[in-house]
Amino acid sequence: MKRIAVFASGQGTNLEAILEAVKSGGISGEVALVISDQEKAQALQRAQRWGVKALFINPKEYKNREQYDQVLVDQLKADKIDLVVLAGFMRLLTPLFVRAFPLKIMNIHPSLLPAFPGLEGVEQALAYGVKVSGCTVHFIDEGLDTGPVILQEAVPVIQEDTIETLHQRIHASEYRLYPTAIDLFCRDKLKVEGRRCLIID
């Protein structure tokens, strides 16, 4: 069974959806570790309620991003982690980290990549006036939201939408899509060829 680590900086609502999916059998893996860069992140409290090992690793204790990321890599290897899942983790990972776990780091982004990468994807979509937004699960590479796309789900933008209402509907999609992508990884159903991520039988 694949061992999953979830990185989160905030409330951990995607973490909750992942833990629920593990419990219901929707993910054939186990969340073995939750790490946060924020001491008071609700994600850590959620993990503790579920009986999952939860660690606050303080970036301020390290000289630079690479030193911090090396500590993260060492922790993940000590815990024999197979997949790293970013769930609202508000730090950019360095190439050092990405190279330690090639095609083993997933992220979910609130837009249909490659549209509106980076911060505030929902705000960017509304400002641009698109009629359809959504969310994307992708592997992390050394660029910003540029890794191979695993799954996407479209969310219509309605005329009355605000940032908050569109966020809410995209979140609902995320809670379905992320566990599905994680389960595909755990069952060895994903194969990357160039930029394409294929789902295999």
Q: Where is 58: in which H helix or E strand?
A: none
Going from the C-alpha of 95 to that of each of 36, 65, 70, 81, 100, the distances in angstroms are 19, 10, 11, 18, 8
Annotated catalytic sites, by residue?
A: 109
Whether residue 65 contacts residue 94, with contact meaning beta carbons closer than 8 Å, is answered with yes
Going from the C-alpha of 27 to that of each of 20, 49, 72, 98, 182, the distances in angstroms are 9, 19, 24, 24, 7
Q: Where is 42: in which H helix or E strand?
A: helix 42-49
End-to-end CA distance of the chain: 18
Phi, psi of 170 (to 5 degrees): -70, -40
Eight-state DSSP code of residue 85: E
Burial 92-115 (b: 16+ CB within 10 A, else e): ebbeebbebbebbbbbbbbbbbeb
